[in-house]
Structures are given as structure tokens and as C-alpha cells.
A and B are shown apart, each in its own frame.
Chain A
Amino acid sequence: MSVERAGPRNFRSALRRTVGAALLAAVALGPLAAQAGGPPTAKVNTTGLAVTDDTVKVGILHSVTGTMAISETGSVQAEKLAIKQINDMGGVLGRKVEFIQEDGASDWPTFAEKAKKLLVNDKVAAVFGCWTSASRKAVLPVFEQYNGMLYYPTFYEGLEMSPDVIYTGQEATQQIIAGIDWVVKNKGAKTFYLLGSDYIWPRTSNKIARKHIEKLGLKVVGEEYYPLGHTQFNSVINKIKLKRPDVIYAIVVGGSNVAFYKQLKAAGIDMTKEKPLLLTISVTEDEIRGIGGENIVGAYAVMKYFQSLDNPNNKKFVKAFKDMWGQDMVIGDVTQAAYLGPWLWKAAVEKAGSFDIDAVRKASPGIELKTAPEGYVRIHPNHHLWSKTRVGQAQANGQYKLVYETKELVEPNPFPKGYQ
């Protein structure tokens, strides 16, 4: 009996010894291995972030359920693509980027709770996330209290400048002023009808638009707002017909968007005739999928990015995106801005030589990205991006055709003097 038992016991202890030796070897070799890939962990992580010798954890925080899932899905896909590409290139400071994805569920308190979980429990080195201004406002105190870094992709109303956020989309003045200047100069527009969904972004944006239009000595002939989710626009379309503006300036969002453009078309307003001309800052290629290209053809959008942009960076990006997520995918402005997040973070970490939030924050201003699909971007000291503003005309196939872009990068100005 004892002989028979000796075998397994010996085997087991032998196994234990081997494992022990292997562990010892790993411990001994560990620093060497890390040095081969990047600087030692103790040096790049002095604040207890989730950084090991070969991995670094980041968070992705978007809604994948609830009403906002419509819009935020593209951002999640872009961020995952960027992280995958960064890992394929060898990661950040020799460490593979691992993401923890949380669902904000289109509910602002949930966003705050998940943000806290990512920062406090998971100790992620950066968070890519949020879409609506409401969700950003909800997580802001969390990021400021626990010292995190958020890369926020959506074009938004401005009036914010947090040390804990990098805004990779455009703020309102970048998007609006260049667009209005273009329509005034190239289309001879004199009168405007401002229309929007009733919440902070359209209202703030239209305020800036109105100020700018009046500064140019031109006229706003109507300005109004409809509740989110409103689906009947026949009355306002009649009103627009009565006022005969040169430009309908529309910032309608969500399901209302689809209703608005379908009813505009059904009411006999052919946007390709440009009488009136329709200028929007709220319809990306993503939205056109729901609206239907044939219902919006001829409208102009002011964005910083269109999927159809003709440059090598963008061609590579569009191909990679479609290869990863499907050939029928479309890429809108925000999706591209979300894609910039991980790359900007990588560049800042590498410039700082550290994952520490404070170091990354200090390194961020001046970070430039020459590989951005939209072209060249640079982080301004106010944490927004210098970027070009572009005007595209909607085509029946659901894409925009570029008709204008600013010569220079437009400076972000989240607190515009004279526009508040």
C-alpha cells in the first residue's frame, strides 16, 4: 500500500517543485522581461493604477442598452478598434492594453456609478466614454474626485473645461461659426430659421449661431424648439414655408430627426434645390441610415469628419473599421472622434513616460496626431482639439460629399467671448 501511494506523492511533490522553480524563474526574470518590453512598472505607475509588467487596463463606458445605444454603439466599436490596433503595434510602453467595458444604460446616475467602479475598483488608467452632455455632466464630479482621465468623443455645446476630460469632438463654436461663414459667403444666405430639439446642446448652439448671424448683420426669422421625441413637424414646416428663410438651420436629434426629414420631403421641400438650403450640425452618416439617404439628399452638414474624406489615413481607418465590424457599417463624426481617444492617450502616456494621471494630464497639451482619419489634430491647453471644420452635402447613398473645409485648423474656444 505505502509503495503504491509513494508514487503519486512523489509525483505531486515533484510537480510542486517544478511549479515552484518555474515561479521563481518568472519572478527572477520578471523585471528583465518587462525591461525588454518597456520601463519597469514601479516607474510608470506610482499611483496604484491597474498597470502590470505586461498589461494596462482602461475603461470603455458607453450605453449599449437603452435609447442612447443607437448613437453610442459606433463609439464603442471605434474605441475597440483603436485599442486592438495599438496592441498590434506593441501596446503602450510595452504593455498590452486591456479594456473593461461598462454599460451606462442610457441612464445618467448609472454612468456615474460605473465611472466610480472603473476608477475606484478597477483603477483603470483612462476611460473612453460618454456621449450625451448629460452623461458627461454626471460623471464629471466622479472623475474630478477620484482623479481619472476621460476621453469624450461627442461634438458638444462647449462651456466646459475640466482637467480630467480630453474633448476629442468639436465644441460648438468650431462647428457653428465656420459653417455659417461658409453658407453666407458661398450661398449668399441672408435669412435663417433656427430649429432644434429642446435641450441644452441645440439651445446653446443656436444661441451662438444667432449671435454670429446678427454680428454679420443678417437676420434670424424664426427660432424654435421641439420636445425630444417629437414626431410631427407639419406645422413648423408650414411656418418655414411662410417665412421663406434662405437657410433652415436644424439641430434636431434622435427619433425626431427621422420624422423631420421625412416630413420635410413629403411637404415638397426639395433640398437639392437649396431653396431653402438646409444646414445641420446634428446629422452624421449614422443618422442618415435611419433617415434614409433619399429623404435628406441635398442637405448640408457641418462636421469635422465625413466617412468619404479622401486621404490615406481615412482610407486605412475605414477599411479596418469595416473589416472588424462588417462591410455595411457607416462611420460618423463622433465615431471617428472616439477612435482618436485611445491614440491621444497613448501619445500622452509615451510623452510622459508614465501612466500616472497627473503626468498624462501634464503631457497632453501639444500632443499631435498625424495619423488621425480626419487629418492632423493637436490638443489645445484647454483640452479640446485643434481641428478643421468641413461642410458636406448629403448624397442619396447616405454619404456626404465634401464641399468645403477650412484652410487652417480651427482653434477650440469653449468659452467664447461675446457669444454667451
Chain B
Amino acid sequence: MFDSYSASELGAIFAMQGFAGLSLFSVFVLMALGLAIIFGQMGVINMAHGEFMILGAYVTYLCSHLVENYAPGLFGVYFFGAMILAFLASGALGMLVEWALIRHLYKRPLDTLLATWGLSLILQQLYRSVFGAREVGVTLPDWLMGSFNLTDMIEVPINGVFVMGLTILITLGVYLMMFRSSWGKQVRAVVQNRTMAGAVGINTEMTDRLTFGIGCGIAGVAGAAFTMIGSTGPTAGQLYIVDTFLVVVFGGAASLLGTIASAFTISQAQSTLEFFLSGSMAKVFTLLTVVGILMLRPQGLFSLKVRK
């Protein structure tokens, strides 16, 4: 495969391939963080996670349209505002859903699977009715769609770097909130023992709602960011849901560190295999590896030690 290439060419390709792996890694982390909070911390199997992401994408689409028509001068930077709005929109919808649907199902975690799956169908049809069945094109500022030319041959996509930076920022934010803020302490207390947490004066209902809202909000930001690399359509959320659950389950549901480790493992495996094998076969081998490891470690890569 590599004969007739010079060393510098090979070096460039491997550098770019390394970057491709890292950028896939950050995409996975970004998709999975919101779910890791909702599924990992609250135990809610949120099948509508992809639809919350797509809501963020649609918010970006609306912003791009509004800014293009009414404030073209701001077009270069609208994306940042769009991400904040995406967070707020998905978060608000998440809190509404928690209040209307999820809070009645905390004692029946398996039923959340059906309820949120139904919700995902409803949201898909809603997007279809509002935005049309066709995919919409999100116009992005030019500076986001180019690439850095590090050398003659190494080209690094700017949007990849952007997603990476965003992922680091959000991961850091989630970490600080979960482990360094009083809210995080309350969330973890409620997760570990709802009754006791209530007894010591934590407003468990409010904590749940906020947690769910933040998880959905992060999904919204992810969706906004993915307008750079993927499609925005009513059913585009379905493209992400399998990989997202894969990452969270493989990492060990209750561990944020696990989510990151598993995103790293899966993304590296996939992008390396894709390079040496063909696309479908790479997927097959990645899934086989995950299944194999889960058979040996059903609790995932990392798990909280709890007394059972």
C-alpha cells in the first residue's frame, strides 16, 4: 500500500490521519457528554437525544438565515451566538420534557426508553412539519470551512480544530459543574440516594429538571457544532444515536471519565481501521471489539464502586 511514496508524504498522511482520529474523538465526546449526564447520572434512557441535537442544528439554521438577511455584518461570528441559543433552546425543551414526561417515570427506568423513543418520533415529525422534509443547508462563515496549511501536504480542517476546542471547553465545564459546584454535589447525592437527598433538604425535583435540561442543552450545542460536518434534517438525529449510546455504555454508564476513555478507544479504532480496511468492515470490527470487551466487562470500561 505504501510503496512509491516518499517519507515526507507518508509522514504528512499519518499526521493528517492522526488528526482525523482526534477529531472523531472530539465529535464522539461532544455527542456523548449530554447523554452521559442524562443516562449515566439519572438513569434515563433518552432515545430522543439525537432529536435534541437536531434542535440545536435547526436553531443554528434559523440564526444563519436571520443574520444573513438582517445583520450580514455579524455573519462571521454569528456561530457563537447560535451555539448559546441552541443550548438554551434544547435545554428549555429538555426541562419541559422532564416536567411533562420523564419525572413520572423515574421509578420505571426501562419505560423511559419507550417514552423517549415516542418523543423522538414526535419531534421528528414536528421538525418535518415546521422545516419541511428536506434537509436544510446551514450557511457557515467562510473562515470555519477552510483548512490550515501547516506544510505543503499537511492540511488541517479548521472545523475539526473548532470542534476539538469546543469539546475541551464543554468537558471542562461539565467537570467543574459536576465535581466542583454545589449543584454537582446535589446531583450526585440525588443519583446515589434520592430519599436521603430529599431528607437533607435538597430539592430533588428541581435538581432532576436542571440536570436533564443541561444534558439536553449540551446535546443542542453538539448539534449546532455538527452543522459543520453533517446534515441538518428531521431524521438526522438518528445518525448519531447509536454511536452515542455505544460510547456511553462502553465507557461505563455512570462515569464521565469512562465516557471520554471509551470515545477515545472507539474513535481511534474506527479511524485507524477505516484507513487500512474499507468503511463497512471498519465498523464491523469496531463493533466486534466493543461487544467482546463488554462481554468481559459488562459494566463498561469504568464503573463507580457501589455496595449492592
State the Cβ distance, A268 to closest chain B Cβ, in Å: 4
If A65-B125, A69-B133, A262-B230 touch, does A238 touch B280 (CB 8 Å cutoff)?
no
Selected contact of A232 from candidates B9, B24, B236, B238, CB within 8 Å: B24
- A238 engages B158 (CB within 8 Å): no
Kindly state the separation between the CA atoms of A199 and B160 in the bound complex, as whole angstroms.
Answer: 29
B17 at the A interface (CB under 8 A): yes
If A225-B280, A266-B147 touch, does A255 touch B236 (CB 8 Å cutoff)?
yes
- A232 engages B27 (CB within 8 Å): yes
CB neighbours (8 Å) of B236 from chain A are: 255
Please, what's the 1-or-0 string for B26-40, where 1 marks a CB less than 8 Å from any CB in chain A?
A: 010000000000000
Kindly state the separation between the CA atoms of A190 and B16 in the bound complex, as whole angstroms.
Answer: 26
A227 at the B interface (CB under 8 A): yes
CB neighbours (8 Å) of A226 from chain B are: 279-280
- B229 engages A231 (CB within 8 Å): yes
- B128 engages A268 (CB within 8 Å): no
Beyond contacts A289-B135, A292-B139: 8 other A-B pairs, Cβ-Cβ < 8 A, are: A73-B134, A225-B279, A227-B280, A232-B274, A235-B274, A268-B149, A290-B233, A294-B139
CB-based closest 7 A-B pairs? A290-B135, A258-B231, A234-B20, A226-B279, A224-B278, A266-B157, A69-B133
- A255 engages B24 (CB within 8 Å): no
CB neighbours (8 Å) of B283 from chain A are: 227, 230
A413 at the B interface (CB under 8 A): no
Selected contact of A255 from candidates B125, B231, B278, CB within 8 Å: B231
Residue pairs across A and B with Cβ atoms less than 8 A apart, 13 shown, are A65-B125, A65-B128, A70-B235, A224-B278, A224-B279, A225-B280, A235-B282, A236-B279, A238-B13, A255-B230, A255-B236, A258-B232, A265-B145
A98 at the B interface (CB under 8 A): no
Kindly state the separation between the CA atoms of A237 and B149 in the bound complex, as whole angstroms.
Answer: 16
- A229 engages B146 (CB within 8 Å): no
- B158 engages A64 (CB within 8 Å): no
- Which of B13, B137, B155, B240 gathers the greatest number of chain A CB atoms within 10 Å? B137
CB neighbours (8 Å) of B149 from chain A are: 268
Please, what's the 1-or-0 string for A365-380, where 1 marks a CB less than 8 Å from any CB in chain B?
A: 0000000000000000
State the Cβ distance, A78 to closest chain B Cβ, in Å: 14
- A236 engages B274 (CB within 8 Å): yes
Closest B residue to A398 by beta carbon equals B137
- A290 engages B134 (CB within 8 Å): yes
CB neighbours (8 Å) of B157 from chain A are: 234, 263, 266-268
Closest B residue to A262 by beta carbon equals B229
Closest A residue to B282 by beta carbon equals A235
Kindly state the separation between the CA atoms of A370 and B139 in the bound complex, as whole angstroms.
Answer: 39
Closest B residue to A232 by beta carbon equals B24
- A259 engages B230 (CB within 8 Å): yes
A291 at the B interface (CB under 8 A): yes
- Which of A237, A290, A294 gathers the greatest number of chain B CB atoms within 10 Å? A290
- A242 engages B5 (CB within 8 Å): yes
A18 at the B interface (CB under 8 A): no
Q: Give the number of chain A interface residues (Cβ < 8 Å).
A: 46
Secondary structure at the A interface, as helix, strand, loop or mixed, is: helix
Please, what's the 1-or-0 string for B259-275, where 1 marks a CB less than 8 Å from any CB in chain A?
A: 00000000000111011
Kindly state the separation between the CA atoms of A198 and B23 in the bound complex, as whole angstroms.
Answer: 24
Kindly state the separation between the CA atoms of A254 and B236 in the bound complex, as whole angstroms.
Answer: 9
Closest B residue to A292 by beta carbon equals B137
CB neighbours (8 Å) of B233 from chain A are: 70, 255, 290
CB neighbours (8 Å) of A225 from chain B are: 278-280
B123 at the A interface (CB under 8 A): no
Selected contact of A267 from candidates B147, B274, B280, CB within 8 Å: B147
- A234 engages B230 (CB within 8 Å): no
Kindly state the separation between the CA atoms of A231 and B270 in the bound complex, as whole angstroms.
Answer: 12
State the Cβ distance, A307 to closest chain B Cβ, in Å: 15
Kindly state the separation between the CA atoms of A290 and B236 in the bound complex, as whole angstroms.
Answer: 11
Closest A residue to B134 by beta carbon equals A70
CB neighbours (8 Å) of A69 from chain B are: 128, 133, 234
The A30-85 residues at the B interface (CB cut-off 8 A) are 64-67, 69-70, 73
- A262 engages B228 (CB within 8 Å): yes
Please, what's the 1-or-0 string for B206-238, where 1 marks a CB less than 8 Å from any CB in chain A?
A: 000000000000000000001011111111101
Selected contact of A266 from candidates B134, B146, B274, B279, CB within 8 Å: B146
A319 at the B interface (CB under 8 A): no
- A290 engages B17 (CB within 8 Å): no
The B41-71 residues at the A interface (CB cut-off 8 A) are none
CB neighbours (8 Å) of A275 from chain B are: none
State the Cβ distance, B2 to closest chain A Cβ, in Å: 8
A399 at the B interface (CB under 8 A): no
Kindly state the separation between the CA atoms of A411 and B272 in the bound complex, as whole angstroms.
Answer: 44
State the Cβ distance, B221 to closest chain A Cβ, in Å: 17
Kindly state the separation between the CA atoms of A262 and B240 in the bound complex, as whole angstroms.
Answer: 17
Kindly state the separation between the CA atoms of A106 and B146 in the bound complex, as whole angstroms.
Answer: 36
The B132-160 residues at the A interface (CB cut-off 8 A) are 132-139, 145-147, 149, 155, 157-160
- A231 engages B134 (CB within 8 Å): no
Kindly state the separation between the CA atoms of A225 and B279 in the bound complex, as whole angstroms.
Answer: 6
A241 at the B interface (CB under 8 A): yes
The B7-27 residues at the A interface (CB cut-off 8 A) are 9, 13, 16-17, 19-20, 23-24, 27
Kindly state the separation between the CA atoms of A262 and B160 in the bound complex, as whole angstroms.
Answer: 11
CB neighbours (8 Å) of A234 from chain B are: 19-20, 23-24, 157, 160, 271
CB neighbours (8 Å) of B158 from chain A are: 266
- A229 engages B159 (CB within 8 Å): no
CB neighbours (8 Å) of B138 from chain A are: 292
